[in-house]
Structure 1
Amino acid sequence: MAQKKIAVLGPGSWGTALSQVLNDNQHDVRIWGNNPEQIAELNEKHTNSLYFDDIILDHKIKAYDDLSLALKDVDAVLFVVPTSVTRLVAKQVADTLDHKVIIMHASKGLEQGTHERISTILEEEIPETLRSEIVVVSGPSHAEETIVRDLTLITAASKNHETAKYVQALFSNDYFRLYTNDDVIGVETAAALKNVIAVGAGALHGLGFGDNAKAAIITRGLAEITRLGVAMGANPMTYIGLSGVGDLIVTGTSIHSRNWRAGDALGRGEKIEDIQKNMGMVIEGVSTTKVAYELSKMLDIDMPIVSAIYSVIYEGADIKDSIIQLMRREGRPENEYIVEIKGKN
């Protein structure tokens, strides 16, 4: 693919790692953020010490705190900002852009209050005259591994196959491979909801449970994610792919995951307020837990693990008592959720 000009909105760990991937592919990359000190460090030292200790970025990657400069003449815009500010940044982009671009996002969450997926927010706030169909870039990936060019396989999902293929070509190289998918709902719900299950998996580790418990929460958590996602219109097959079980495994088993680390701290007895304060990064799984719980009630979907995590985080329930209640639930067939999926369709 010929060189493209790409604005990456959000100089966090994942935004920085994806910027390096795009730069490795010879694209003109501009990172935008609202912290002048961080922007200055990126431009002068070519480092992002808030997230990476020993990584030196290519000097060709430029950083901006002026959105109009970052967006000037770009071919594509990649949103990698927290879910809570996606709508605000999208409004700013819509007010600043003066031409049509490819719009992508690599964030993982659901908006509180509206319960909307990120692509829906972007569709609402950025007029069609300024954007393509949204492309979701998502899958099993830690920024800490991508930044050192470890092998990574993820998904580019869009309602428009040609746009998904464009993004696939934009990112793909010897260490970073993308597959296309047309199930935007499935990819986005999998990306968001796996963070909730990762909090629970971390909590089990913090409490001292082992691999048996880890396998149990990942497997049954995937069943809950699938039930809710299909009720929202997703293809159930998406959840056994990279953006489904793949992302759940990597997020629910690794110390690299801030959601897993938050859960681990919960299991060790720390308070959620202190965990959020000390993390230094947004813990999407905490806010998404509330959204997932509310959606499960609205759509009448059985999600006992999500409900238990919600009760611990938002209602102060004792975490050990919550686990006992889960274990003592009435016995059920393992594949009952498949029957529910078929019923929804």
Structure 2
Amino acid sequence: MKRIAVIGAGSWGTVLANVLVDNGHEVTIWARKEEVSNEINNVHRNRAYLGEAELHLHLKADTSLKNVVFNKEVVLFAVPSHAMREMLTQVKPYVHSDALLIHATKGFEQESWKRMSELIAEELPQWGERIVVLSGPSHAEEVIKRSPTTVVVASSCQHSAELTQTIFINSYFRVYTNPDVVGVEIGGALKNIIALATGLADGLGYGDNARAALMTRGLAEIARVGTAMGAEAITFVGLAGVGDLIGTCTSKHSRNWRAGYAISQGKSLTEVLSEMKMVVEGVKTTRAGHALKEKYNIEMPITEQLYAVLFQGKDPKIAVEDLMSRGKTRELQEMAQGW
């Protein structure tokens, strides 16, 4: 049994905390709002994010970061990417010197475009090899029902990855390890761009052919960026790459897919974001992808067109036409160069 702190009482943080309690660990989750904390403790629900799904009776919540983090053996971060650095600075005084740090956030810091593990290493440098990322195809709405789910954990330290695997793995939550931190983080973040584009195309009625094309060519874009940043190409055919891409692009559980679909129906980006209760990471990640495209001089036509739709007012149908009318190329040659 481990003493574990979970930072973030959204859908994913709550569900991961529930998995850990199922596994016999002592888990306390930090909630920003008192009403959420009280509901988890007294009603064993988190209705704002998970409806009437029942939480484990032994899962505890608190609004005090000090109470949650102090003397814990494991600290798991499940907060939106834009909140990560702030949370790291706030928890730093309370983190035990031997704690294992895990994050389950898929995105980049705005403006710096740094990955989440880079932020953790900057703010908590003494924890070094005890930093782990958890990613993969895993909708909270299904994990809370204990539906079979597979994820991947990555760390520069094999021991840290294997310890995380041991902490999480059970009969419905299977965990694999991978040494490629960059690839796992890039795959988990950039797939949200393709999910937005897929939702948009689905809303326009383009069907299965377009969806398959977006997912396949989207994976090529993700791999190009990842390998340029030092990732291993093989990672992108695993759970954090094609696995997460399939899960996010084909499910109505996906908030990124839903956002793209809503935009296809004529809603503005501002309207869509104001109507959704949860963070749509793909919007910020589209900005990041566009910036990385420029930085590494990489062809990312799907990202480029989605950026124009989201932030420059381009008509989605025109964006699709522009994608389809690009110059001729050879698939295998392009893959060899990009991967």
Give the unaligned 5+ runs of structure 2.
none
In the alignment of these two chains, the number of paired residues is 339
What residue is the counterpart of 1:278 in the other structure?
275
Distance 2:333 2:318 in 1: 25
Distance 1:114 1:131 in 2: 20
Distance 1:177 1:98 in 2: 28
Could you list the per-position Cα deviations for residues 182-232 of structure 1 after superposition, in whole angstroms to 9, with x for gaps in the alignment? 000000000000000000000001111111111000000000000011000
Q: Does 1:205 align with 2:209?
A: no
Percentage identity across aligned positions? Answer: 45
Q: Does 1:311 align with 2:308?
A: yes
CA contact (8 A) 1:197 1:217 kept: yes
State the 1:133 CA deviation: 2.7
What residue is the counterpart of 2:175 in the other structure?
178
CA contact (8 A) 2:130 2:160 kept: yes
Q: 1:33 to 1:131 in 2, by over 3 A?
A: farther
Q: 1:266 aligned to 263, 267, 283, which one? A: 263
Greater shift in the superposed pair: 138-147 or 34-43: 34-43
After TM superposition, the runs of 4+ consecutive aligned structure 1 residues lying more than 6 A away are none
What residue is the counterpart of 1:37 in the other structure?
35
Q: 2:218 aligned to 211, 218, 221, which one? A: 221
Could you list the per-position Cα deviations for residues 31-89 of structure 1 after superposition, in whole angstroms to 9, with x for gaps in the alignment? 00211111111111110000122212122111010000001221100000000010000
- Aligned pairs (5 A) from 1:185-200: 185-200=182-197
What residue is the counterpart of 1:65 in the other structure?
63
SS at 2:47 equivalent: coil
- The one-letter amino acid of 1:95's match is P
State the 1:127 CA deviation: 3.1
Q: Does 1:79 align with 2:113?
A: no
What residue is the counterpart of 1:167 in the other structure?
164
CA contact (8 A) 1:152 1:177 kept: yes
What residue is the counterpart of 2:17 in the other structure?
19
CA contact (8 A) 2:129 2:156 kept: no
Distance 2:188 2:302 in 1: 17
Give the unaligned 5+ runs of structure 1.
none
CA contact (8 A) 2:70 2:94 kept: no
CA contact (8 A) 1:100 1:132 kept: no
- The one-letter amino acid of 1:327's match is M
State the 1:95 CA deviation: 2.4
Q: 2:143 aligned to 135, 141, 146, which one? A: 146
Q: Does 1:239 align with 2:236?
A: yes
What residue is the counterpart of 1:113 in the other structure?
111
What residue is the counterpart of 2:101 in the other structure?
103
CA contact (8 A) 1:200 1:217 kept: yes
Normalising by structure 2, we get a TM-score of: 0.98
Distance 1:126 1:133 in 2: 10
Distance 1:89 1:127 in 2: 15
State the 1:98 CA deviation: 4.4
State the 1:131 CA deviation: 6.1
